[in-house]
Amino acid sequence: MTNPLLEQTTLPAFSAIKPEHILVAVEQQIQEDRKYLEQILKQVKQPTWDNMIAPLAEQADKLSKLFSPVSHLNAVVSNDQLREQHDACLPILADYYSEVGQNRALYDAYLEVAKDAQLTATQQRIIEDETLGFRLAGVSLNEAEQGRFREIKSRLSELGSLFSNHVLDATMAWSKHFTDKSPLKGLPVSAIATAEQAAKEKHQQGYLLTLDIPCYMAVMTYADDSSLRQEMYRAHCTRASDQAPEAQGEWNNTPIIRETLALRHEMAGLLGYASYADYSLAMKMADDPAQVLDFLDKLADLSINKASAELEELTVFAHQLDQIEALNPWDVAYYSEKLREKKYDISEEELRPWFPEDQVLKGLFEITSRLYKVSFKERDEVDKWHKHVRFFDIFNEQGTQLGSFYLDLYARSHKRGGAWMDSCRDRSRRSQGELQLPVAYLTCNFTSPVGDKPALFTHDEVVTLFHEFGHGLHHLMTEIDEIQVSGINGVAWDAVELPSQFMENFCYEKESLLLIARHVETKEPLSDEVLERLNAARQFQAAMQMLRQLEFSLFDFKIHLDYQAENDNQFAEILKSVREKVAVIQPPSWNRFENGFSHIFAGGYAAGYYSYKWAEVLSADVWCFFEEQKTPEQGIFNDNSGQRFLKTILSQGGSKKAMELFIDFRGREPSVEPLLVQQGITANP
């Protein structure tokens, strides 16, 4: 049978991929790759970049391109058969990558190539990174230790997928049906229409609430019924835990958390690291755990007083409005939105008509064009996985194609929550000279169109789109031909959020907002008054938001730094202690936030969630430069700023260390001050 996964096409043939293709394709490709590696090690007597490193990278790309659409489909249109086949591949892939990483002959060949004085700076950087990668994969361990290391990597791969599956299953399992809309009082018209559409899709009359993020956030932010907010909060915060309904017991992620932490700690110990946090930092921008903790503690200390004042203001307001004596966690978003509306006369829902999908995309593309001299063209005939997916090509000023991306914006059943960018194809110069262009997946979970009306986004959703698009530009606009460090490859994890967080700033700047925001009916832009209020509202409860992210970051880092094998419940104790230090409002005892924390238990952020704040410091400092370079003629779109950012950071991928690239752009190391000023936590000096 023809297997579409084994055909090295420019783009995946999504409609032709069936579950039965997956495992057989992965096994066949691994077998081919293994033979290729054995052959090249046997034949090449004097390894060089051209006769070993480059050919092996090109061969390895085949497996990456094969599994990329499989992994993506499992995230966006999951079903039992697809999941089963996807998950069956994970231990096989983990074992194979461990096998390659522990290949002593290959490692020695890399060390030999490293002696070549003719290597370019980029090639030297790759050799340096990859030899470290060999050591982190256990190449120096004895045979028994290597075997155990492979077992751990394989099991961790399985556990990560299980964790993610449990969260998705628990999310989809919960819903609440109403035959009339009276309990939905306070919800925006758009949210009620979405709930009505959700009921229709389940062949029900009335309205259906789910834990999909657009629905959940609408209820938490606008529902007048406190008991409904509490019920949904509890359902969301106990997903995949011992506190979930008894019928969901099979999805409890607590045992997975315990086993994951134990295995990570053991794996780090095998390599001589004191903790998984130390192991994790080996390929990050931060130097050591003390630097990370000092960074997080400093931000917490600078934010705590302002956050406490913000909570006090909110508590007083809730009491004045509804005689609330003490705020519960399910009250915070509701009263925060009402206070925000009162202080700034601005509402996320009231702004929706100014952010229709096509206008937002048009503005996003125009902003990118002004910054980097590029253009976009939609292509319809591309094979996609869902009718709502769109596809675009990106071109430079000379009309040369730079890459392409899929855009999947709306929330739906069987789609993983959150928003992300991932690679479909990486830029690389092939052995015959042809250039493989980068292709990205941009995925969000926004409110979908209802009926024949266009999708209208909240401002928060626009910020999310710009964030993911920043990741996409980092992947697509690379000028690096070596696949190991092109795009986002080889970029330190705690710097990879820089381009994405930088793009968020354009959702607040007047010049760019005038391009993004046009009323869906009148085509009028947002008034200057609304723009001013939107910017003022940007700092609303910024310190509380800061502490929330620091809570996640400290919890993640400390459970990996201070792991104790004899304490089964240590991660919960650490979370409690972190909250006592940085949380201004304590959640109830039954809250099991950690059981849905996919970033660190099913994603790549283990002992690295601090990266969001670390990179936010970088991005605020970059934005500070753009503001300093404003001109009367071009404003924030100063050619010098955009081209400088493109040439020194965006196009460079992982070809240099992240700190070197930042200094190339800024002329100095980063400062935390621009972030604190931007968020109103400290005054502008």
Stretch 656-679: mean pLDDT: 95
- Same domain assignment for residues 295 and 187: no
Report residue 619 CA to chain centroid gap. 16
How, if at all, do strands 420-425 and 428-429 pair?
Answer: unpaired
Give the domain-ending residue among 251, 276, 305. 251
Q: Which candidate in 349, 468, 482, 616 is catalytic?
A: 468
* Domain contains 158: no
- Residue 8: pLDDT band by 50, 70, 90 thresholds? confident
Is 532 in the same domain as 587? no
685 has pLDDT over 60: no
Domain boundary residue among 609, 638, 659? Answer: 609
Q: Does residue 166 sit within a domain?
A: no
Residue 198 has pLDDT above 70, yes or no: yes
Q: How far apart are CA 50 and CA 374, in angstroms?
A: 33
Q: In this structure, is residue 452 part of a structural domain?
A: yes
Of all residues in the chain, the percent with pLDDT exceeding 70 is 99
At residue 249 the predicted structure's pLDDT band, cuts being 50, 70 and 90, is: confident
Instruction: Give yes or no: residues 525 and 552 share one domain.
Output: no
Looking at the chain, the whole-number percentage of residues with pLDDT higher than 90 is: 93
CATH number, domain of 263, equals: 1.10.1370.10
SS3 108: helix
Q: Per the domain annotation, does 601 fall within a domain?
A: yes
101 has pLDDT over 90: yes
**In terms of domains, do 524 and 605 share one?**
no
Calculate the CA dihedral of residues 683, 332, 163, 4 and round it to 10 degrees.
-80
468 labelled catalytic? yes
Q: Which of 203-212, 240-249, 580-589 has the lowest mean pLDDT?
A: 240-249
* Domain shared by 209 and 284, yes or no: no
Q: Are residues 504 and 483 in contact, defined by beta-carbon separation less than 8 angstroms?
A: no
521, 416: one domain? yes
- The band of 246, judged by pLDDT with boundaries at 50, 70 and 90, is confident
The candidate with the shortest Cα–Cα distance to 133, out of 490, 587, 629, is 490
Q: Are residues 512 and 630 in the same domain?
A: yes
Element spanning 391, H or E:
strand 390-395
Residue 451's pLDDT band (cuts 50, 70, 90): confident
What is the mean predicted confidence (pLDDT) over 189-194?
A: 92
Domain containing 653: what range? 353-538+612-678
Q: What is the DSSP letter of 442?
A: E
pLDDT at 684 over 70: no
Please tell me what DSSP assigns to residue 446.
Answer: E
pLDDT at residue number 682? 78
Is 506 within 8 Å of 517 (Cβ atoms)?
Answer: no
164 lies in a domain? no
Residues 419 and 532 grouped into a single domain = yes
Q: Is the pLDDT of residue 469 over 90?
A: yes
- Is residue 284 left, alpha or beta, with left meaning phi > 0 and alpha meaning psi from -120 to 50? beta
Arithmetic mean of pLDDT, 514-520: 96
Instruction: Work out the burial of residue 540: count CB atoms within 10 Å of its CB; fewer than 13 is exposed, 13-18 middle, 19 or more buried.
Output: middle
Q: Are 169 and 241 in contact (CB under 8 A)?
A: no
What tokens were used for 622? 């970059």
Structure confidence at residue 258 as a pLDDT band (50, 70, 90): very high
Same domain assignment for residues 124 and 202: no
Last residue within a domain, chosen from 594, 609, 624:
609
pTM: 0.92
**CATH code of 87's domain:** 1.20.1050.40
- Structural domain contains residue 148: no
Mean of all residue pLDDT scores within the chain: 95
- Within this chain, do residues 643 and 498 fall inside the same structural domain, yes or no? yes
pLDDT exceeds 90 at position 235 = yes
The secondary element (H helix, E strand) that includes residue 663 is helix 658-666
In this structure, are 530 and 519 located in the same domain?
yes
Using left for φ > 0, alpha for ψ between -120 and 50, and beta otherwise, residue 490 falls in left
CA 214 to CA 229: how far, in whole Å?
14
pLDDT of residue 349: 87
Q: What total number of domains does the chain contain? A: 4
pLDDT in tens, 331-359: 999 999 999 999 999 888 889 999 999 99
Do residues 504 and 467 make contact, with C-beta atoms less than 8 angstroms apart?
yes
Torsion angles phi and psi, residue 273, rounded to 5: -90, 145
CATH number at 532 reads 1.10.1370.40
Does some domain include residue 151?
no
Could you tell me if residue 478 is inside a domain?
A: yes
- pLDDT class for 501, splitting at 50, 70, 90? very high
Q: Do 337 and 367 fall within a single domain? A: no
